[in-house]
Structure 1
Amino acid sequence: MKWVKTIGRILGWLLLALALLAAGAEALASLQSGAWKPMAFGQVWYDIHKESLALAQPAVQRYLHPAIWDALIVSILLWPAWSVPLIPAVVLLLLCRKKPKNRSFA
């Protein structure tokens, strides 16, 4: 099971890097425009690959439940782009962290 934690840590660090990249892009765009304007995750997804975003809605509504799209996923699409990868990154890094060695100073 050690390899599962290793993969979890790697994925957590990659997601953290993605969150920092998104935060940096948002900061750069804010500096260029002169006003802080958060980039929504849905807008970033649309800019990167609008076809997959267009296919995600009917897939979720058809194969899972329509309420999942309306209540949950639309809310997530409106979150700042940096927050979406940051949340699972923190969870993975906390769950898959290495346990400290027991050191006694007796």
Structure 2
Amino acid sequence: MVRTVFHFLSLVALVAAIMAGTLDAIESVSSSAVVMTSLGNHWQNLDVVSLTLAEEAFASYISADAWRWAVAPVLAQPAFGVFLVIALLFWMIGYRRPRFAGRFSA
């Protein structure tokens, strides 16, 4: 059951990565230059209030310095890359090795 949840989260992150990559590809073709939009830029275009609330909550519960050192560099990365890494991590968490002796072993 838990593996299914992680595989579903991996699928959602993979779809988000494909959508972000497609948007960047369309914008790159239309501007005749390579465009890679950062995760922070996508988040800001989607909902500015939630980005501000996340920063304030992180600063009040953890530390304002931790936001600058941990979260800000991630938000500066291309969105499709971040979502691909998240999809890979969720898939790896939900992965189960095949049994050594095969399917019908005791």
Same fold (TM over 0.5): yes
Normalising to structure 2: TM-score of the pair?
Answer: 0.88
Identical-residue share of aligned pairs (%): 26
- Provide the C-alpha distance between the structure 1 equivalents of 2:103 and 2:4, rounded to a whole number of angstroms: 23
Q: Which runs of 5+ in 2 are unaligned?
A: none
In structure 1, the partner of 2:88 is 90
Choose the corresponding residue for 1:48, options 34, 37, 46. Answer: 46
Q: Secondary structure at the match of 2:47?
A: helix
CA deviation vs aligned residue, 1:15-65 (integer Å, no higher than 9, x gap): 111111111111111001110021011111000001111111111111111
Q: Residue type matched to 1:17 in 2?
A: V
- Provide the C-alpha distance between the structure 2 equivalents of 1:92 and 1:56, rounded to a whole number of angstroms: 22
- Provide the C-alpha distance between the structure 2 equivalents of 1:64 and 1:41, rounded to a whole number of angstroms: 21
What is the aligned residue count? 102
- Provide the C-alpha distance between the structure 2 equivalents of 1:77 and 1:88, rounded to a whole number of angstroms: 13
Q: How does 1:33-72 map to 2 (within 5 A)?
A: 33-72=31-70
CA-based RMSD of the aligned residues comes to: 1.6
List structure 1 segments (4+ residues) > 6 angstroms apart after TM superposition.
none
- Provide the C-alpha distance between the structure 1 equivalents of 2:30 and 2:66, rounded to a whole number of angstroms: 36
Per the TM alignment, residue 90 of structure 1 is displaced from its structure 2 partner at its CA by 0.4
Q: Secondary structure at the match of 1:82?
A: helix
Q: Residue type matched to 1:24 in 2?
A: T
Q: Residue type matched to 1:11 in 2?
A: L
Q: Residue type matched to 2:60 in 1?
A: R
Q: Residue type matched to 1:44 in 2?
A: H
CA deviation vs aligned residue, 1:68-89 (integer Å, no higher than 9, x gap): 1010111011000112221121
Q: Which runs of 5+ in 1 are unaligned?
A: none
